[in-house]
Amino acid sequence: PREQTMRVVVQRVARASVAVGGDVVSQIGRGLFVLVGIRQGDTREDAEYVCRKILGLRVFEDEEGKMWSRSVLDLGLEVLAVSQFTLYGRTTKGYKPDFHESMPADESRDFYHAFMATMRASHRVDLVKDGVFGAYMECDIVNTGPVTIVIESKRGEREDSSSSSNNNDDTTKA
């Protein structure tokens, strides 16, 4: 069986907005646009881990222009998150996606709202925004780079959050 994990797709953006029924319900300037996938069996610990990774993700440049140096927390940038059950769409049998791995809507609604509360408590409330859970949304983003990162909460394989061994402070990828 596959390892169960919470999954998010994070995109660095110049701006992003979400509309429902043609009306913009949320928008941000420079920051991160996050698609949030919630799987059956996800826990509060998964949500807290993913939240820390999103907010600490260093995908922005520092004052000298050095890339991969700063996070939204460091720079006080915005985050726009959208619930995205289709991140668990499987097409192993035919062409129609199967979403059975996604947490059912009645459970995931509360989980998602708790996840967003954790994000807001960990950053600044006014800088963390979201779409409308369960609504058909139009997401308009300007991805810069482009930079897109997938984060998963693989249980048992998380690094110690107090460890700086994977800090990569002195390394850069070409």
Series of mean pLDDT values for 10-residue runs along the chain (174 residues): 79 98 98 97 95 98 95 98 94 92 94 97 97 97 97 66 44 36
d(CA 114, CA 124): 16
| Per-residue pLDDT at 99 | 93
Query: Distance between CA 99 and CA 80 in Å, rounded?
Result: 24
Q: Residue 169 has what pLDDT?
A: 46
